[in-house]
Amino acid sequence: MRHVTWKLLLPALLLCRTVFSAPADPFYLHPADTVVFYGDSITDQRLYTMLTELYTVTRYPKLNVKFVHSGWGGDRVSGGGGGPIDLRLQRDVLTYHPTVMTIMLGMNDGKYSNHTPADDDVYYAGFKHLVETVRQAEPSLRITAIEPSPYDDVTRPFILQPDGYNAVLQKFSEWIQHYAGEAHLDVADLNGPVVEMLKKANAEDPALAQKILPDRVHPALAGHMVMAEQLLKAWHARPIVSSVTINAADGKVSAAEFTKISNVKTTPLSWTELDEALPLPFAAWLADDKDHSIALAIKSSDITEALNEQPLRVTGLAEGRYKLNIDGAPVATWTDKELAEGVNLAVLNTPMAKQAADVRDLTIRRIDIHQQRWRSFQVPLEKLNLENLDRSLKDLDALDAEVAAHQHAAAQPHAHSFELVLAQ
């Protein structure tokens, strides 16, 4: 089947298919929270966690939330390459005094092959120990238990277990749901919705769908986008960046949500807009989407509707095609009917999306500083009793904080000039 390219996907993304409002529940994260992402190699990829951090920084730019990425490849509930679980928790979680923690483990605990009921018992007991340990140290800690992301038994035949290896992970997920009720944990399902996305993608393009989880375990960015969506949904993420409705005939602004509109003129229609947030930089990701797997994952999921809606509706236009300029640069053209129905600016290469892409780059750099500090210096050198190690780690912490300050400053929205004119 034909690959789902950005150009093929764009028309579906541009039109706002549903009118969204802010979720009834407030966003899960609070000002000055410290979030620690804990897990195995999938968390160690620092992709769904980066996307969650980026969404938070750009959608809620006034929040001052600190993020720590503490995944370690190969980890189980008992620990792994970074040390036994109690060492990992003390060094890589509790030392940061988190107010929020996510836990995603299970991929390695299932042992891939020759799985037995005894392995389930080890996982359940180990998960409980983990939760009880951090809760004892931080009684007010808010924990999101993540149902482990899937092993891809959708796009390729079963090989590890008679009913597929993901069945093991789904059993872990069922137990997590039950235990969360007992232990008062929040839950995010990163398995079921990703499986459903893979099924839709596989029906669309089987060869391309395999690239979403290339080795069946570790998702590419396309898979991590849908995973981050599920975590953010569990945290009551706001779908809307901003929402504007303007009547071109009289310049009346009938709706302005999460934004301020000023300087409205009607000939041609123009206005100044200062949004409260930035979109996720879909356009930048799709521009780099060489194998089109991101486009396929977006098409096969509801991530746009769930996380990245920036509807603009313009009524009262004469029949014709209209070009939108932002800050004097052309963005896109639509018919009067399309504009009256509503178009989604969040998926376009707008100045706001370009700003968000810059924030993404700073986010990645900040995460990399901590990763180097932790994995290249702290852990491998901690037993050598080096005179300068502690000072060097503190210097890297200061650098991390300095880049984080730039990251948050870069996420603050700016006012932009909008103009809608007849297309030539």
Question: d(Cα 249, Cα 314) in Å, to the nearest integer?
Answer: 10
CB 148 within 8 A of CB 102: no
Q: Using pLDDT thresholds of 50, 70 and 90, give the confidence band for residue 129.
A: very high
How far, in Å, are 72, 242, 243, 308, 413 from residue 260 at the CA level? 44, 9, 10, 19, 11
Q: What is the pLDDT of residue 22?
A: 45
For residue 6, what pLDDT is reported? Answer: 47
The 10s digit of each residue's pLDDT in 182-192 is 999 999 999 99
Q: Are 14 and 79 in contact (CB under 8 A)?
A: no
Q: Does the pLDDT at position 3 exceed 60? A: no
Please report which confidence band the pLDDT of residue 19 belongs to, taking 50, 70 and 90 as the band edges: very low
Q: What is the mean pLDDT of residues 101-115?
A: 96
Among 11-15, 64-68, 176-180, 397-401, name the one with the lowest average pLDDT. Answer: 11-15
Which of the four pLDDT bands, split at 50, 70 and 90, describes residue 424?
confident
Query: Per residue in 298-339, pLDDT tens?
Result: 999 999 999 999 999 999 999 999 999 999 999 999 999 999
How does residue 30 score in pLDDT terms, banded at 50, 70 and 90? Answer: very high
Q: Tell whether the model's pLDDT for residue 1 goes beyond 60.
A: no
What does pTM read for this prediction?
Answer: 0.94
More confident residue, 159 or 285: 285
Instruction: Report the distance separating Cα 377 and Cα 373, nearest Å.
Output: 5
Please report the pLDDT score of residue 160 as a whole number. Answer: 85
Q: Find, among 151, 154, 143, 157, the residue nearest to 188 by Cα.
A: 143
Asked if pLDDT for residue 107 goes beyond 80, the answer is: yes
Does position 12 have pLDDT exceeding 90, yes or no?
A: no
Q: Which residue's structure tokens are 């098409």?
A: 299
The pLDDT score that the predictor gives to residue 58 is 98
Is residue 10 very low, low, confident or very high in pLDDT (cuts 50, 70, 90)? low
User: What pLDDT, on a 0 to 100 scale, did the predictor assign at position 11?
Assistant: 54
Helices marked H in 275-419 — which ranges? Answer: 282-287, 293-299, 303-307, 336-341, 351-371, 379-381, 389-410
Q: For the domain covering 27-234, report its CATH number.
A: 3.40.50.1110
pLDDT one-digit tens code per residue, 137-152 = 999 999 999 999 999 9
Angstrom distance (rounded) from CA 379 to CA 373: 9
Q: What is the pLDDT of residues 214-237, one digit of tens each?
A: 999 999 999 999 999 999 999 999
pLDDT > 90 fraction of the chain, expressed in percent and rounded: 92
